[in-house]
Amino acid sequence: MQVKVSQEIEQVCPEFVGACVEATVENSEFSAGLWQEIDAKAEEFRQTLTTESLKQLPSIEATRRVYRLCGKDPSRYRPASEALIRRLLQGKSLYQIDTLVDLINLASIAFGYSIGGFNADRFVGNELVLGIGREGEPYEGIGRGQLNIAGLPVYRDALGGVGTPTSDHERTKITLDTTHLVVLINGYDGNEARVAANAEYIQTLLQRYCKSDGGNFYMFGWRFEV
């Protein structure tokens, strides 16, 4: 899968850097070991963060800033990483979905980047382009119904939108049958080393909990295009 960044994103966030992890995996309903890691991270956050200081984390602050530049209120349409950590800080547990989704949620909260996880066999075409949502553009968010993505950063395949930092699309969502995984990490803070570390962390988790060799990853964004 080839991932590109459009000029409209480059104009609002020229420093953007992303990573695409692609791997063969085996999903499961639940992993006790993974949830021990999630619970440990949740306790760490409760000791070190508040719902206000959370907004100042570079990865989250940068995503909120890009939302505003694209025309979206980040307090109404929260980036997923922020929403997940806020939930933990409010004393709630993360939703338990399945091992792959839970794993991606852990990777997202651990680094603060909004991360999209997809069943790559459901993509149409072999290219994804990161752009900005348009007024009236149809988009069915996972568990959210029709979502107004106007002003949201959005990945599109040949058929239409598949992922935003707020919610991914029902059409390409991960299920228990998913074996071909693509994960997209969105570094609106431009921190190449940290985005790469997040990708490597995902590979480690896939090896540990999804009977995978971790697959491979590559970086994308304007600085990587020839």
Would you state the pLDDT for residue 96? Answer: 97
Would you state the pLDDT for residue 226? Answer: 58
Can you read off the two tokens belonging to residue 2? 């080839």
Give the C-alpha separation, 9 to 15, whole Å.
10
Phi/psi of residue 168, nearest 5 degrees? -85, 170
Would you state the pLDDT for residue 223? Answer: 85
The closest alpha carbon to 186, from 144, 150, 154, 143, belongs to 154
The angle formed by the CA atoms of residues 17, 94 and 32, to the nearest 5 degrees, is: 100
Whether the CB-CB separation of 160 and 81 falls below 8 Å is answered with: no
User: What percent of the chain is helix, strand and coil (3-state, nearest 5)?
Assistant: 40, 20, 40
Burial 28-61 (b: 16+ CB within 10 A, else e): eeebeebbebbeebbeebeeebeeeebeebebbb
Would you state the pLDDT for residue 225? Answer: 76
143, burial (CB in 10 Å: exposed 0-12, middle 13-18, buried 19+): exposed
Would you state the pLDDT for residue 72? Answer: 94
What beta strand segments (E) does 120-159 contain? Answer: 127-132, 140-141, 145-146, 153-156
What beta strand segments (E) does 70-113 contain? Answer: none
Give the C-alpha separation, 149 to 152, whole Å.
5
The closest alpha carbon to 211, from 103, 66, 61, 113, belongs to 103
- Global pTM reads 0.96
pLDDT in tens, the chain (226 residues): 899 999 999 999 999 999 999 999 999 999 999 999 999 999 999 999 999 999 999 999 999 999 999 999 999 999 999 999 999 999 999 999 999 999 999 999 999 999 999 999 999 999 999 999 999 999 999 999 999 999 999 999 999 999 999 999 999 999 999 999 999 999 999 999 999 999 999 999 999 999 999 999 999 998 887 5
Amino acid at 35: W
CB atoms within 10 A of CB 76: 8
